[in-house]
Amino acid sequence: MTVPLAAPLAHRRDDPAVAVAHLAGQRLAVHVDNLLHGLHCPPNLIALPRRDGAVVGAISHRGNVIPVTDLRRWLPWPDAETPPSRLLVVCNGTSQAALLVHGIDGVSRTRRIVRLHQKDNEHDVFHTVAHLPPVTKDEAEPVVPLLDVAALLSLTATWTDTHATDASPGSPCQAYAVNQQRPLCRQRRLSTLAASRWR
């Protein structure tokens, strides 16, 4: 089930928007250019047995089987008594994957986006923060870590290529998927989003 969007929110390059979600009490953000859907997580994921890593299974959505990543498998994350019940479907080029989250808070404009970790590290997926507008005048600016989707897909090496027809190792479509790891989402990216609560 796709989480509904409310009033359109036009995207401006000088005032980028991010989707904000929370996982076990920790907030995180995804740039709207890397966001496709917010979904309810099915009770049973498609099994994708692996010896290690953060990929915990997959879902079937709109004709695609999309791998699901749990960031808590990799990063020092707070504990939670209840399992995550939502998914963020993210993209980079034609590649798609999903993230487990407990809730999707909505879409927000950013005051500014600042990179903190200046040295590239192949194991880092959070090197930048997004400053969000305060809810009230007396409130401090909320600062949320911004997920680098391209880095996440490169690190997990697990995604669905929406243009792929042959997923065998070394196939042309697999090489195409690797070459498409770029910061922008595919051409059919989101053009409007909503400043609303997704529960």
Per residue in 100-114, pLDDT (tens digit) is: 999 999 999 999 999
Which CATH number does 21-118+127-186 carry?
Answer: 2.40.50.180
pLDDT of residue 165: 53
For the chain, percent of residues with pLDDT exceeding 70: 74
Domain boundaries, the chain: 21-118+127-186
Which comes out higher in pLDDT, residue 70 or 52? 70
Q: Could you give the CA distance from residue 32 to residue 19 in angstroms, rounded to a whole number? A: 6
How would DSSP label each residue in the chain?
-BPPP-S-EE-BTTB-EEEEEEETTEEEEEEGGGEEEEEEPPSSPBP---SSSSEEEEEEETTEEEEEE-GGGTS-----SS---EEEEEEEBTEEEEEEESEEEEEEE-SEEEE---S--TT-SEEEEEEPPPSSTTSPPPEEEEE-HHHHHHHH---EETT-S--STT-HHHHHHHHT--SSBPSS--SEE--S-B-
Categorize the per-residue pLDDT at 197 as very low, low, confident or very high, splitting at 50, 70 and 90.
very low
pLDDT of residue 36: 93
